[in-house]
Amino acid sequence: GDSVTQMEGPVTLSEEAFLTINCTYTATGYPSLFWYVQYPGEGLQLLLKATKADDKGSNKGFEATYRKETTSFHLEKGSVQVSDSAVYFCALSVPGGGYQKVTFGTGTKLQVIP
Amino acid sequence: NAGVTQTPKFRVLKTGQSMTLLCAQDMNHEYMYWYRQDPGMGLRLIHYSVGEGTTAKGEVPDGYNVSRLKKQNFLLGLESAAPSQTSVYFCASSRGLTTASNQPQHFGDGTRLSIL
């Protein structure tokens, strides 16, 4: 079946450090890939997405590239801020089945310290 | 913009009690979902709906029932609560298009439910 594997956290970085959160996936067909962010006490919010191979999603300084050859969708940011502290979820969605079936990773908690 | 609204935000129940979680969306989305979030397990789909009057089972449906009598509302019921149902519950919605797989889901802020 479909699955998403992302690096375990928590990840602790100093402000302005470079961030990478690894995400790899297994899927039948051609999935769309997403990164969601969850701030404390809130629901998940879409951060970025990519719908086909070699697409790059970007938002708020975060980027991720859909790599079909390595089945990966790693999240990166060049300079993190304290306000980026949150839990990040990688997810995939595969067409078909009559509804939008989304498979989520287990989440990676990021803590940015001043 | 309210988006997806869940009520209540917190609730404590005793084993065997029943309750209904409410979800309302104002984006005219066709698809709605109920997930539970548990530590180390990501989000797991409980039930979903692809339109008014329709519901279907997700990954972990046992012990839950749902109804979607109006397009904007999706209710999750626990008939006889058990401690294993202690969790954070999220409702989500998305557009129901032929390219639905590339549409993002929009989430509410969750209901934190404890069952003693």
User: What single string gives the DSSP state of each residue in A2-26?
Assistant: -EEEE--S-EEEETT--EEE-EEEE
Distance to chain A for B40, nearest Cα, Å: 6
Chain B contacts of A95, Cβ < 8 Å? Answer: 99-101
Chain B contacts of A93, Cβ < 8 Å? Answer: 100-102
Q: One digit per residue, pLDDT tens: chain A, 114 residues?
A: 889 999 888 999 999 999 999 999 999 888 999 999 999 989 999 999 999 999 999 999 999 999 999 999 999 999 999 999 999 999 999 876 667 788 999 999 999 999
User: What dihedral angle (degrees, nearest 10) is formed by the CA atoms of B88, B91, B94, B100?
Assistant: 60
Please judge whether A100 and B31 are an interchain contact, meaning their C-beta atoms are less than 8 angstroms apart. Answer: yes
Q: Which of residues 4-63 of B touch A (CB under 8 A)?
A: 4, 31, 40-43, 45, 48, 50, 56
B63 has pLDDT over 80: yes
pLDDT attached to residue B87:
97
B31 has pLDDT over 70: yes
Determine contact, residues A11/A108, Cβ cutoff 8 Å: yes
Most confident of B39-53, B74-88, B94-108: B74-88
pLDDT attached to residue A101:
82
Q: How far apart are CA A110 and CA B91, in angstroms?
A: 24
Q: How far is CA B82 from the centre of its chain?
A: 17
Chain A residue nearest residue B39, CA to CA:
A106
Q: How many CA atoms lie within 13 A of A4 on its CB side?
A: 29
Report pLDDT digits (tens) over B4-23: 999 999 999 999 999 999 99
pLDDT attached to residue B34:
97
Distance to chain A for B93, nearest Cα, Å: 10
pLDDT attached to residue B96:
74
pLDDT attached to residue A53:
93
Please judge whether B101 and A46 are an interchain contact, meaning their C-beta atoms are less than 8 angstroms apart. Answer: no
B32 has pLDDT over 80: yes
CA angle B104, B107, B111 (to 5 degrees): 160
pLDDT attached to residue B98:
60
Q: What average pLDDT score do residues B78-98 get?
A: 91
Q: How far apart are CA B90 and CA A16, in angstroms?
A: 32
pLDDT attached to residue B97:
67
pLDDT attached to residue A1:
83
Q: Is B21 helix (H, G, I), strand (E, B) or coil?
A: strand
Establish if A57 touches chain B: CB-CB under 8 angstroms.
Answer: no
Supply the DSSP symbol for B71: T
Chain B contacts of A42, Cβ < 8 Å? Answer: 109-110
Establish if A43 touches chain B: CB-CB under 8 angstroms.
Answer: yes
B3 has pLDDT over 90: yes
User: Which among A94, A102, A107 has the least Cβ separation from residue B105?
Assistant: A102
Residue A97: what residue type? G
Establish if B107 touches chain A: CB-CB under 8 angstroms.
Answer: yes
pLDDT attached to residue B95:
87
Q: What average pLDDT score do residues B36-48 get?
A: 91
Higher local confidence (pLDDT), B105 or B41: B105
